[in-house]
Amino acid sequence: MAINWFKYSSPTTFYGLAGKMIPWFAVSAAILFAIGLYIGFVVAPVDAQQGEFYRIIFIHVPASMMSMFLYMVMAAYAALGLVFNTRLSGMMASALAPTGALFTLISLWTGALWGKPMWGAWWMWDARMTSELILLFLYLGFIALHASIDDSRRADRAAALLAIVGSVNVPIIYFSVKWWNTLHQGATIKFTGTSMQIAMQQAMFTMLLACWLYSIAVVLARVRSIILSRERNTAWINELPEVKQ
Amino acid sequence: MKVMGYKKSSLLQLLVLVIRRDLVLAMRRRADVLTTLVFFVIVVSLFPLGVGPELGMLRKMAPGVLWVAALLASMLSLGRLFSADYQDGTLEQMMLAPQSLSMLVLGKMIAHWMVSGLPLVLMAPVLGLQFDMSAQPLGVLIIGLLLGTPILSMIGAIGAALTLGLRGGGVLLSLLVLPLCIPVLIFGTGAVEAISSGLSVASHLSLLGALLVLSLVFTPLVVAQALRISME
């Protein structure tokens, strides 16, 4: 049996699929957020050095990871769109950008809140904070470029090229900033062994999973809106029950 | 201009031709070139007025100030890279030409650097002296600028091609390009700081050189692609 790989690359079929998937992802994200926050705030013990303040990492670390992953996912969709010329890829990329920017902002914000009691300053110009800030600029550039081009196909393609150039630049920026100044504490989660307590780990991974599910749900919802607004003049949109009434 | 005719010209001839054409055009509008340079000088001169005339601090700040000012000045001139050719239809003809678009773009970028980047490099020693920089750091700063400003022109060309013909293009262009230029800024100023504190500058300058080679290879292709997207 031949599988049609491109079946769900058409907005028409994907619109329905996304609509069916959103509730699943949204509900499981809500449940995992509740579990993660419970473990993080109630079960996990107080940190010996950092006291209660450390608990902000349960949102800070997942948000930072999401901000970087989502940029890569966005660039991958952008590349797909340029290579296969599929309309949906560009829509996905532009649906991912606001969520990515939001996570970047959360990461910076919570980082500052954590930095004040720990370092005594809201902001330190260290490598990770600075590259996170630059990542926010890259997201904003993508969104701004997309928003200022009226023709949506050209906007998709131009923004896609920018995302790809940005993703090539991200490692260069990261390492240049790292050599420029290194002050941040070393990574705690390493591939061999970890210095974290089990409950803290559980809270962190639950929250990370919850963030993933939340992102998927939100992005699918946003891509549905984008499909609706871009295809509003087509026949199948006018056939939709939610549009008809 | 006979070379262009129907005879197929070599890539190098094409490159030289494009550079010469753009330089001639720039020389016809000398005010544009001077504006960028004057902007650079003014921005640099504003810093001592803003932070105070203490020489020790100015000496420390000099590389950063000069580099940031060069970055901003190069943003200023990027809008003109393709817009004149776009408006009078020349760019469309260039894209229809059988010659490689990447090569044409490379020629335009080199010409742009000679008009807007090179004057800044030549002006920098004078401004460096205003900030009481000594000879050795000043030399490193100039080498860094010489390696770095072409990268700014090339990365900037991507932004210029993507924002071609858009409303509010100038501000948007800076928003897209400035974050991508951060590594150049870091290595350029890092080299001067290294020599000032007695360390070797080889690593910083080598990295700048590597970035230059990388962008020399890839940006013409990317800019050509961006132009095709914008001109559809």
The pLDDT profile of chain A, 245 residues, written as one tens digit per residue, is 566 767 777 888 888 888 888 999 999 999 999 999 888 888 877 776 677 778 888 899 899 999 999 999 999 999 999 988 888 899 999 999 999 999 999 999 998 888 888 778 888 777 778 888 999 999 999 999 999 998 888 899 999 999 999 998 888 887 777 777 643 444 554 444 456 678 888 888 999 999 999 999 999 999 999 998 888 888 887 777 777 76
| A217 within some domain | yes
- Minimal Cα–Cα distance from A137 to chain B, Å? 7
End-to-end Cα distance, chain A: 39
Dist. CA B177–CA B158, nearest whole Å:
8
Q: What is the pLDDT of residue A2?
A: 64
Question: For residue B111, what pLDDT band results from cuts at 50, 70 and 90?
Answer: very high
Structure tokens at A10: 């058409």
Tokens, residue A108: 């910076």
Q: In angstroms, rounded to a whole number, what is the distance separating the alpha carbons of residues A79 and A71?
A: 12
Q: Which two tokens stand for residue A155?
A: 């906007």
Tell me the domain boundaries of chain B: 2-231
Number of domains chain A is built from: 1
Q: How far is B8 from chain A (nearest CA, A)?
A: 31
Q: Which residue has the higher pLDDT, A2 or B19?
A: B19
Q: Is residue A7 part of a domain?
A: no
* Residue A163 contacts B, CB cutoff 8 Å: no
ipTM: 0.85
| Distance to chain B for A189, nearest Cα, Å | 27
- Can you give the pLDDT at residue B9? 65
> Are B41 and B123 contacting, i.e. CB atoms less than 8 angstroms apart?
yes
Express each pLDDT in B55-68 by its tens digit: 888 888 899 999 99
- Give the Cβ contact number of residue A164 at 10 Å: 18
For residue A170, how far is the Cα from the chain centroid?
A: 15
| Mean model confidence pLDDT for chain B | 88
- Per-residue pLDDT of B118-134, as tens digits, reads 999 999 999 999 888 88
Cross-chain residue pair A158–B175, CB shorter than 8 Å: no
Domain-located, residue A9: no
Residue B170 backbone zone (phi > 0: left; psi -120 to 50: alpha; other: beta): alpha
- List the structure tokens of B54: 């203490």
Q: Give the per-residue pLDDT at A190.
A: 44
Contact (CB<8Å) A177/B186? yes
Mean per-residue pLDDT, B17-22:
92
Record the tokens describing residue A158, joined without a space: 């131009």
- Torsion angle of alpha carbons A94, A97, A98, A99, nearest 10°? 120
What is the spatial distance between Cα A143 and Cα B229, in angstroms, rounded to a whole number? 17
Is some CB atom of chain B closer than 8 A to the CB atom of A243?
A: no
B50 versus A183: the higher-pLDDT residue is: B50
Q: Chain B neighbours among A 99-158 (CB < 8 Å)?
A: 134, 137-138, 140-141, 144-145, 148-149, 154, 157-158
Look at B211 and A172 and tell me if their CB atoms are within 8 Å. Answer: yes
Per CB distance under 8 Å, which residues of B are interface residues toward A? 158, 162-163, 166-168, 172, 175-176, 178-180, 182-183, 186-187, 190, 207, 211, 222, 225-226, 229-230, 232
In three-state secondary structure terms, B165 is coil
Taking the CA atoms of residue A171, residue A9, residue B166 and residue B94 in that order, the dihedral angle to the nearest 10 degrees is: 90
Report how far residue B55's alpha carbon sits from residue B45's, in angstroms, rounded to the nearest whole number: 14
Rounded mean pLDDT, B147-156: 94
Q: What is the DSSP string of B47-88?
A: HHHHH---HHHHHHHHHHHHHHHHHHHHHHHHTHHHHHHHHT
Taking the C-alpha atoms of residue A170 and residue A154, their distance in angstroms, rounded to an integer, is 24
DSSP B168: T
Between positions 171 and 210 of A, the ones with CB within 8 A of B are 172-173, 176-177, 179-180
Position B98 scores a pLDDT of 84
What is the token pair recorded at A81? 């769109």
For residue B40, the model assigns a pLDDT of 93
Across the interface, of B158, B175, B180, the residue whose CB is closest to A144 is: B175
Q: Quick check: B175 and A149 CB within 8 A?
A: no
Q: Provide the domain limits for residue A132.
A: 17-45+53-184+197-231
Task: Compute the distance between CA of residue A44 and CA of residue A159 in angstroms, rounded to an integer.
Answer: 43
- Which of A137, A148, A162 shows the shortest C-beta gap to B166? A148
